[in-house]
Amino acid sequence: MSPKTLDHFVILVEPLEPAVADYERLGFHVRPIARHLSVGSKNAVIHLHYTYLELFTLDQAPAEFQDAYRPRLQAGPGLCHVSLDSASLLDDQARLRAAGLNPGGITNARRRMVHPDGREDETQSSCMYCWREQHRYLSLFVSHHARPETIFVDGHVRHANGAQQVIRCVFQSEDPALDLPYFRSLYGRAETDRTVDGFRFLGPRGEVSEVITPAAARARYGAAMPVQGLAGLGALPLALHYRVGSIAPCEQYLRGAGLAVAAVGGALVVPAAQACGVVTVFEAA
């Protein structure tokens, strides 16, 4: 099995249009709202190198999607699901079943898109969920893009804030030890390192998935944390860190947009309240 990498990040919001405006104010180039043709949900995608953000709303999704995500939405907007890449969803499905997990069926996530030159096209993406009832919103899923040229579009990676790629995804958990075996199964290997505060997995591009305690999260992000905390859910995706070419123009843009920005250790931190519940950090290359 090839090493797993971070693929994309689902930010659950309702309604979708204000979230698009929030991320445009953050300096991201947000693509037009589209519908998942086989599911009925709607999204607006932010393309980055190797990864992408999905501003996501349930809209006309079937009852099983509504039931799965509504408790997370009731706790406030924010990250609700993080996807790893998959070379073969069928192979991953068999592997996860053998590991004692309960992966779901394969879901068609196709949607229409427009290339930078104006050509209309359609993605050929599929995904497979692997929910777990303990710390349900620390669940991961895996995605396969049969036509990656419709997902990772260089012509759309022009962001006023200078963001190039996601280099770290941070989760907070009341009990990281409870989550570690699940992450090992999804990644298909052991963690890169483990501390008293949690653990992390390092991907082949150098990107990091990290699970830390709420105390460690508060010590790291302080006032930038979402006001709802874990909201009784036990664990949640919390923060995304982006690589930018240079900090100075990024800071100039963010402050010019009227955002509350804290300079911390050479990085810029935007509070979750100004990024749809996601602690947002910009770091220099």
CA angle 229/234/238 to nearest 5° reads 50
pLDDT at 70: 86
d(CA 230, CA 90): 33
Domain 6-156 identical in fold to domain 163-284: yes
pLDDT at 36: 78
Domain boundaries, the chain: 6-156, 163-284
pLDDT at 180: 97
User: What's the CATH superfamily of 6-156?
Assistant: 2,3-Dihydroxybiphenyl 1,2-Dioxygenase, domain 1 (3.10.180.10)
d(CA 252, CA 232): 37
Listed as ranges, residues in the chain with pLDDT below 70 are 1
Question: Is the whole model's pTM more than 0.85, yes or no?
Answer: yes
From the candidate CATH numbers 3.30.2310.20, 3.40.980.10, 1.10.3110.10, 3.10.180.10, the one assigned to the domain spanning 163-284: 3.10.180.10
